[in-house]
Amino acid sequence: MSSPLRTPPRIKVLEALGAIADGRIEVLSDKEAVVKSSDGSRTYRVYVDVSRREVDSTDNGTVHRGYVGYPIISFLMIKKLLPINDKIATSLKGVPWRKLNEEYKNYAKVMEIIIKERNLNENEVNKYIDQVLSLLRRMGLKRIQKYNEVTEE
């Protein structure tokens, strides 16, 4: 049983890039990885089989909200299936994503704060996000249930 995943909120592209910048992704095999949350309190299991367009992850976005979660995006970036913008990535090192998302409960506001605080070029950031989301849409990923629950450690 599989279900198509929706395009994620724009901020998830930046969260994925931040995970890469922080070195929070451990590749286990060609199809599996483990991604640590920004505050280190959670570990997400990720499965990607691009040839079958099948993915799974134990993050909330994928499990409960039905969109491609940032752990999947970051693994696709590591696998060179989605582009990495090194300049933006470097600026996203150490962003406390979970804390900011919980504090503001508004992804657009959090993005605005990060762009301002990290001195990022908003046009460059938006062009990059558009590029990644466009490629992601074309992949037409669907979730197969490989893992059972959201993982917390």
- Tens digit of pLDDT for each residue in 94-111? 999 999 999 999 999 999
Residue 147, pLDDT above cutoff 90: no
Provide the residue range defining the domain that includes 94.
Answer: 2-144
Rounded to two decimals, what is the model's pTM? Answer: 0.93
Residue type, 99: K
Percent of the chain with pLDDT strictly greater than 90: 92
Q: What is the pLDDT of residues 120-133, one digit of tens each?
A: 999 999 999 999 99
Residues 6+ apart with CB under 8 A from 39: 96, 98, 99
Measure the CA–CA gap between 9 and 70, rounded to whole angstroms: 10
**Residue 74 is assigned to a structural domain of this protein:** yes
99 in a domain, yes or no?
Answer: yes
Number of domain units in the chain: 1
10 Å Cβ neighbour count for 40?
11
Whether 107 is in a domain gets the answer yes
Residue type, 78: I
Q: Is 22 a domain residue?
A: yes
Q: Take residue 100 and report the two structure tokens written for it.
A: 């900011």
What helix, strand, coil percent values describe the chain, rounded to 5? 45, 20, 35
pLDDT of residue 152: 44
CA distance 125 to 110: 14
- Mean pLDDT, all residues of the chain: 94
Q: Is 24 helix (H, G, I), strand (E, B) or coil?
A: coil
Asked if the structure places residue 151 within a domain, the reply is no
Which of 21, 106, 15, 100 has its CA nearest to residue 62?
A: 15
Summarised one tens digit per residue, pLDDT across range 18-38 is 999 999 999 999 999 999 999
